[in-house]
Chain A
Amino acid sequence: MAAVIIVILFAALIGRLAFLQIYQHDLYRTLSLNNQVRIVPIVPKRGLIFDRQGILIAENIPIFSLEITPERTPNIENTLSEIHAIMPITNSERHQFSKQLKYKRRDEGIPIRVRLTEQEVAKFSLEKHRLPGVDIAAHLIRYYPLGESFAHALGYVGPISQKDLLEIDQAAYRGTNFIGKVGVEKSYEAILHGKTGYQHIETDAKGRTIRVLNRIPPKPGANLHLSLDSHLQLSAFKALEGLKGAIVAIEPETGAVLALISKPSFDPNLFAEGIDVKTYRSLQNSSERPLFNRAIKGQYPPGSTIKPLVALKVLELGAVNPDFKIFDPGWYQLNHTGRLYRDWIFFSKRHGHGWVDMEKAIAQSCDTYFFTLANKLGVENLHNIYSRFGLGKATDIDLVGEASGLSPSAAWKKRVYNEAWYPGDTLNIGIGQGTLLATPLQMAQVAATLANRGHRFVPHLVSAIDTHHNDQPIETLPQEIPPVIIKNPDHWKLVINAMKNVVHMPGGTAYRISHGIKYQVAGKTGTAQVFNLKQNEKYEVNKVKAHLRDHSWFIAFAPIENPKIAVAVIVENKHSKTGADIARVVLDSYFNLKPQETTLDTSGEDETEVGGAEHSE
């Protein structure tokens, strides 16, 4: 039985072989004689990236590189030393080459030097005939004209690694050397890359091209139009000059990201050229962490910036009246013998805020008042309002690697630390310290949500995609997510008015930035504690090591009615310039850009600048 099946199937194979080797023999013989037809991939052009004004922020520029095709090279070591004699090869170039040699296809060129000068091209062309398998290839490489300032938003492309190979269709990437590694370049890799074309090239027995037989052209990658505004991005980047921190600005009506900065930064063009190991190590090991995208990955306690959220929750529950007052002696005590929870003002002035109501408590950022509210609310109510504003959950922005922050609850502490939740923990997260964590992006979204009186959108960087099919790029629609519903509009009014007083009323914690301001801002300052003081210990800037100093937060939106921009700023390790100062520069830059959309009198520009970030106090 089995034998019969075997014989039948073997007969079928023999039939197939006879068909190919006898019936179609002539056809294949001709093909094999002329075969010398090679299929060569044609790399598609990577999609371009524009900002919202149509300024090109990621383009492709032509370069020449020297490549070795292992399959056509008799002895790679000899060839390498021959090339070395013509033009010296560095160790890191050799290292990059041997790394790629291990996993790339043997019939594909592997670059040994990525950027040849014109002299090198000329010099090598003379020697080429001696070195089979070695070619000069013209490539397009990625170029980021605005360099460092866009590095964290755009990301960069780099040589395809072994890890990347697992995630891609290798056939679709034949001939392509670079791939998006982080940022927009990574999250939109699938459409930026395009579709590889190929051509049949007839060659002679030695592999020299005779003619191109047919050509399936590649399809270029889609062009992206970002919502980022280059001018705003550049001035925001400049405002953080010499500082560590992050800025995220969002258009509240749509969730479109207007600026996204993380400092310190790096030159993404280094990666696009194939960064050498030494430079990469130094970037990676730098204590300043320039490769770390603080805007979406940095998780900090949001500090007092969340006080408006606590106030909204108290009002929503009706736990106290809006005119609820306390007398603040400068500290709060859970019970009469227990630990003193000090107000920040006590450390410098040795007294409290005196009588405070809710508006004043927000405007002057009174900790004692919010300790009182937090204790009334309890951890679950705080967890509820923070989560409704999106803390503890990734925003789903179109960038990879976003951190989700943390909105703690009693259940969470039990699960992770197996410890009970203490009333003191509630006080801490009530003023945005302790285990509560948020990214600058999340805080920008909080600002946008306050600006929208509850409406929320997924933040996004790409506003339109041009796939070359139509004349018009396809706009990406704003994606609305469940809003924060506060039934009584007066509650929004009260909180936003208090945030206005933060900036515009004497005594407000950011009053110093209001000098000469031409628009109305609602804002909130905050301080993220880096380390905890002992009981009664005084925080003195000069005594604390620089990297342990507190971080300065500011969230804001403007104008107050019909807001156009919401922004979150964090400046690490307290500095004479605070988050609020930086935010003022960003907002000024935004409104100067678009005078027609505001009622600004632009003649006052100079005065605005003086009154802004630089001089106050």
Chain B
Amino acid sequence: MFSKPRLLSTKIHLDWPLLIGIICVSLLGLIILYSAKPESDVIERQLLRLLIASALMIAIAQVPPRMFKSIAPGLYCFALILLMSVLIIGHVSKGAQRWLDLWFVRFQPAELMKIAVPMLIARYLDNSLLPPKALTLLIPLGLILLPTLLIAKQPDLGTALLILSSGLLVIFFSGVSWQFVVSLAATVGFSVPLLWFLMRDYQRQRIMILFNPESDPLGTGYHIIQSKIAIGSGGLFGKGWLNGSQSHLEFLPERTTDFIFAVFSEEFGLVGCLILLALYLCIIIRGLYISAQAQDTFSRLLAGSLIMTLFVYVFVNIGMVTGVLPVVGIPLPLVSYGGTSLVTLMASFGILMSIHTHRSLLPK
């Protein structure tokens, strides 16, 4: 083993397959972002963000996984305190309290939670017997639900959903019994009608609009109607780069952020979509492989959860833009314009790389 020449990439703890996937998707993202908003400086800004976020990814990749494990509880508590302070002194931004003004950036504590929750749950389950019993799961469930509810209250349904799923995914990867999964599903199934019963009329109406946006053509329904027209009119090969009439005639709202997939589909068609989905699939499969190769339970659970969260991102965003899932405000990873979620995403890629490149290469 020692005779094998150590490559530069090994020295700086990079994982080439993952990195190539990330670069490809990001490039596609920049191309379509240019089309979505050609006149302003969004490209420069997005590129700058990508570079800063990549630097962070490389930095995190240098950190050995046991460090993540030891800082997990501290990170969680820190994020929780920030989250509560947002609720109290948070800056009011577009009607929702999500931001905290730090010295130089506006920072979303919820983003930190996206990493802190799976880390903490992975650490907790690593210290207990696997597969876990239903009762031992009560504490991790509480640790997941607390930040989820705080964030849902902000209100940021999309991020709350992502944090909930990142935590539940860790539990799922720890190999819980089918009975547990079934009983959890049953609990959720029973509590939904109960919640519905407790809700006020206007709240129920909001939920109905979530599932049937067309009934509210002045609100979110408008987005869905326009986005479906954009996607459907793209056809098999698309209208060509910079030729999407929907997006260029400004019918499509939020076209650089949550609805950027509609611009992509309109200009590159089904073929383009298949390529994009294939690239995402490559990244996800590589991530699952990293998880399977991990040498300790903590790393395996954390890697599995992080990569599956990426999948949830992609699935919910595309599902929402194509009108099969409710509009909850989740960006398309690496493609949507915007800083904070990009940084978190790259940080989790950094963690995946760290997990894969810090394995002690013991001969079997």
Task: Using CB atoms and an 8 Å cutoff, list the residues of chain A in contact with chain B.
Answer: 2-3, 6-7, 9-10, 13-14, 16-18, 20-22, 24-25, 27-29, 31-33, 35-36, 38-39, 41, 71-72, 74, 103, 105-107, 162, 165-166, 169-172, 174, 196, 198, 205, 207
**Chain B 245-259 against A: per-residue CB contact (8 Å), 1 yes, 0 no?**
110011101000000
A169 and B206 CA atoms in complex are apart in Å by 10
Query: What is the minimal beta-carbon distance from A345 to any residue of chain B, in angstroms?
Result: 56
Judge whether A35 and B95 touch: CB under 8 Å. no
For the complex, what is the distance from the CA of A442 to the CA of B213, rounded to whole Å?
48
The 8 A CB mask of B204-247 against A (1 = contact, 0 = none) is: 00000000000011111010000011111111100000000110
Q: Mark B44-63, 1 if CB is under 8 A from A, else 0.
A: 00000000000000000000
* B273, CB-defined interface residue at 8 Å: yes
Cross-chain contact A24 with B232 (CB below 8 angstroms): yes
B74: Cβ under 8 A from any A Cβ? no
Assess whether B322 is in contact with A35, with CB atoms less than 8 Å apart: no
**Contact, CB under 8 Å: A3 / B235:** no
B118 within 8 A of A: no
Whether the Cβ atoms of B232 and A21 lie closer than 8 Å is yes
Taking the closest CB of chain A, its distance from the CB of B180, in whole angstroms, is 15
Task: Tell me the complex Cα distance, A207–B251, Å.
Answer: 11
Set of chain B residues within 8 Å of A32, measured between Cβ atoms: 229-230, 232-233, 245-246
Evaluate whether A14 and B274 lie within 8 angstroms (CB atoms) in the complex, with A20-B322, A21-B265, A32-B245 already known.
Answer: yes
* A29 near B95: Cβ-Cβ < 8 Å: no
Interface pairs (6), CB distance under 8 Å: A6-B284, A13-B277, A17-B265, A17-B270, A107-B250, A171-B216
Q: Report whether A21 and B236 are in contact in the complex, using a CB–CB cutoff of 8 Å.
A: yes
Is the beta-carbon distance between B245 and A35 smaller than 8 angstroms? yes
Within 8 A of A (CB), among B289-320: 304, 308, 311, 315, 318-319
Closest A-chain residue to B318, C-beta based? A13
Write the nearest CB–CB distance from A383 to chain B, whole angstroms: 36
Q: How would you classify the secondary structure of chain A's contact residues: helix, strand, loop or mixed?
A: helix
State which of A9, A10, A28, A169 has its C-beta within 8 Å of the C-beta of B231.
A28
Q: Inside 8 A of B324's CB, which chain A residues have their CB?
A: 16
B270 adjacent to A171 (CB under 8 Å): no
CA distance A31 to B269 in the complex (A): 16
- Determine whether the beta carbon of A20 is less than 8 Å from that of B246: no
B281 within 8 A of A: yes
Q: Is B146 an interface residue (CB 8 A)?
A: no
Q: Kindly state the separation between the CA atoms of A172 and B270 in the bound complex, as whole angstroms.
A: 36
Q: Which of A21, A28, A172 contacts B269 (CB 8 A)?
A: A21
Verify if B71 is at the interface (C-beta below 8 Å from A): no
Closest to B307 in A: A2
Q: Which of B173, B235, B251, B315 contacts A35, CB < 8 Å?
A: B251
For B315, list chain A residues within 8 Å (CB): 9-10, 13
CA distance A105 to B95 in the complex (A): 13
Q: Which residues of B have CB within 8 Å of A29? A: 232-233, 235
B165 to chain A, nearest CB (A): 13
- Say yes or no: B228 contacts A28, CB within 8 Å: yes
Of chain A, the residue at the smallest CB distance from B94 is A103
Closest B residue by C-beta to A198:
B218
Could you tell me the distance between the alpha carbons of A16 and B249 in the complex, rounded to whole angstroms?
Answer: 25
Nearest CB on B from A16, distance (A): 5
Q: How far is the CB of B56 from chain A (nearest CB, A)?
A: 26
Task: Assess whether A20 is in contact with B231, with CB atoms less than 8 Å apart.
Answer: yes
B288 contacts chain A at the CB level, 8 A cutoff: yes
Q: Which residues of A contact B217 (CB under 8 A)?
A: 39, 198
Chain A residues, CB < 8 A from B94: 103
Cβ of B319: which chain A residues have Cβ within 8 Å of it?
Answer: 13, 16
Nearest chain A CB to B239 CB, angstrom units: 9
A255 to B322, CA, bound (A): 56
- Which residues from B are CB-within-8-Å of A14? 273-274, 277
Please state if A17 and B218 are interface contacts (CB–CB under 8 Å).
Answer: no
Q: Do A27 and B277 have beta carbons less than 8 Å apart? A: no
Known: A2-B288, A28-B233, A39-B218. 7 other contacts (CB 8 A): A10-B277, A14-B273, A17-B270, A31-B229, A31-B233, A36-B249, A207-B249
